[in-house]
Amino acid sequence: MKRKYFGTNGIRGVVGERINPKFVSRMSSAIASYMLDKGTMAIGVDSRISSPTLKNSIIASFLANGIEVIDVGMVPTPLLQFAVPFLKADMGIMVTASHNPPEFNGMKIIDSDGIEIDIHKQIQIEQQYEKEEYQYVSWNENKKTAKMDVSTEYIEQIINLVDFEKIRKKNLTAVVDGGNGVGSLITPLLLRKLGVKVVSLNCQLDGNFPGRGVEPVPDKLSLMNSITTEIGADFSVAHDGDADRAIFGDNKGHIHFGDKSIALFEKWVLGQSDNKKFVTPISSSSIMVDIINEEGGEIFWTPVGCIYVSRKMIEKNCILGGEENGGLFYGPHQSVRDGMMAAALMAEILANSEKSLNELLSDFPHYYQRKNKLQCPENIKEDVMQYIILNAEEAEEIITIDGVKLLFSDGWTLIRPSGTEPIFRIFVEAKTAEKADVFMKNGLELVRNAIEKSIGKLQKPT
């Protein structure tokens, strides 16, 4: 069933348009009446200019619904996700628009286990929102807000999960680019507590995000890279606006977006543990499989989206999850992506290695990837997928967890319908650049044919 308000990660939009005090208040009442029969809600906000306004509106709505509120303040999303089970709250709301531009904001709804609510619950909340039947409590049953800071406990938990002594002895230096977001509040402090010398960049909270923008894309990280090489730092790390993701740069000032840094964590964590179960979305690189084969582990594929990875980790008792966008999920800490945990684990990996980060990452095989997209009307997307499945003759295996993934002996092609736009995304990977170009050419041709045939079928008189 299609959702109207929830996207891949909660509800988001431009403030003053969809996202305004009235909307978040009504949505909060819908959440309160669907999810909780009284109880407690924990709330956190990111550094956006509109966050305090929206927070006040959300809190008012929950109190009027008879629900206690714990305000954990301005925090990264993973810290709120830690706080919900830690404080035994029944749910959490993070006011954030993650990596979106400053004019955006939104709500991530966290379940009692610290993981974002699943699609089934999202649909129920939307139905409740549309019905607009709220039961505000009487005047003398309105609840109160308590303020609590759990950052010390959160940092302590991370420190207890890495080899503190080893990291301290290594005398590492790191550059942290907080991107003016809430990661700035935790990562420099955490790394310093671990004995890492930290040079902080864009770590002043500012809802205009004037430093390098909210999203840590490689071409916005050149200052972080040049500082790293200038001062001879061992690594650098950049967060998105709510710091659930971490993008790493090496000692030579090269950014490793996603797959390779996740592969490094996979190799380290699986190599140390008896639990060798790893979860990753269907779009991840074959490097993940190479490491699973090396370490004798087990891999579980999910649809694209962090909620699927988290839920699969719980279901299969996995130790680690990873996404190519820089999302790292470390089970012993919490089964959600956490940019601070990733930074601490990176320090641990480097403290245990004679090699530099550049050398460690160069050891991995290189795969060539290509991305493209094609316009496709919404109403034929299902037919297009069926056509692809029936006509991908050269594929050795077809996986349909999310879109259609065609596996070949020397690479793969993933064809996914967008959930929000009338397009198909085509994503390929191969061992050589030439082969990747061939896969993309074939993939585009296959999707074009499928669209043409599906439109033809639609126009045929019955």
Give residue for tokens 């609510």. 117
Rounded to an integer, what distance in angstroms lies between the CA atom of residue 80 and that of residue 226? Answer: 33
Q: Between residues 63 and 79, which has the closer beta carbon with respect to Mg ion?
A: 79
**How near is the Cβ of 372 to Mg ion at its closest, in Å?**
25
Q: In the complex, what is the shortest distance from the CB of residue 244 to Mg ion, in angstroms, rounded to a whole number?
A: 4
Which residues lie across from 14 on neighbouring strands? 104
Residue listed under structure tokens 């290509």: 370
Distance of alpha carbon 93 from the chain centroid: 16
Binding to Mg ion by CB under 5 A, coded x per residue (else -) over 87-126, reads -----------x----------------------------
Tell me the per-residue interface mask from 280 to 319 with Mg ion, x by CB under 5 A, - otherwise. Answer: ----------------------------------------
Question: CA–CA separation, 312 vs 321, rounded Å?
Answer: 9
CB 424 within 8 A of CB 417: yes
> How many other C-beta atoms are found inside a 10 Å radius of the C-beta of residue 13?
18
Least Cα distance to 259 among 365, 345, 350 occurs for: 365
46 lies in the binding site for Mg ion (CB under 5 A): no
How far is residue 83 from each of residues 79, 98, 149, 354, measured CA to CA in Å? 6, 18, 9, 36
Separation between Cα atoms, residue 306 and residue 9, nearest integer Å: 8
How does DSSP classify residue 99? Answer: T
CB 286 within 8 A of CB 439: no
For Mg ion, the closer of residues 207 and 417 by Cβ is 207
Cβ distance to Mg ion smaller for residue 242 or 324:
242
Other Cβ atoms less than 10 A from the Cβ of 423: the count is 15
Site string for Mg ion, 211-240 (x = CB under 5 A): -----------------------------x
**Distant-in-sequence, close-in-space partners of 111: CB < 8 Å, separation ≥ 6:** 84, 91, 117, 118, 121
Residues with Cβ within 8 Å of residue 408, at least 6 apart in sequence: 394, 395, 396, 439
Q: Which residues contact 149 (CB under 8 A, 6 or more apart)?
A: 72, 73
How far apart are the C-alpha atoms of 177 and 257, rounded to whole Å? 15
| Nearer residue to Mg ion within complex by CB, 98 or 335 | 98
Query: Closest CB to Mg ion belongs to which residue?
Result: 98
In the bound state with Mg ion, the residue whose beta carbon lies nearer, of 14 and 137, is: 14
Given the residues 98, 283, 285, 310, the one annotated as active site: 98
| Distance (Å, whole) CA 378 – CA 385 | 12
Nearer to Mg ion, 246 or 263 (CB): 246
CB nearer Mg ion, residue 36 or residue 110: 110
Taking the least distance from each CB to Mg ion, the nearer of 40 and 51 is 51
Site string for Mg ion, 372-411 (x = CB under 5 A): ----------------------------------------
Query: How far apart are alpha carbons 330 and 345 in whole angstroms?
Result: 9
User: Which of 116, 242, 324, 338: binder of Mg ion (CB under 5 A)?
Assistant: 242
Pairing, β 6-7 against β 10-14:
antiparallel
Q: Is 98 a catalytic residue?
A: yes
Q: Which helix (H) or strand (E) holds 361?
A: helix 357-362
Among the listed residues 68, 126, 244, 250, the single contact to Mg ion using CB under 5 A: 244
What is the closest distance, in whole angstroms, from the C-beta atom of residue 245 to Mg ion in the complex? 5
Nearest Cα residue to 260 out of 239, 240, 290, 231:
290
Q: Minimum CB separation from Mg ion for residue 110, in Å?
A: 13
Q: Which residues are catalytic?
A: 98
Binding-site ranges for Mg ion (CB under 5 A): 98, 240, 242, 244
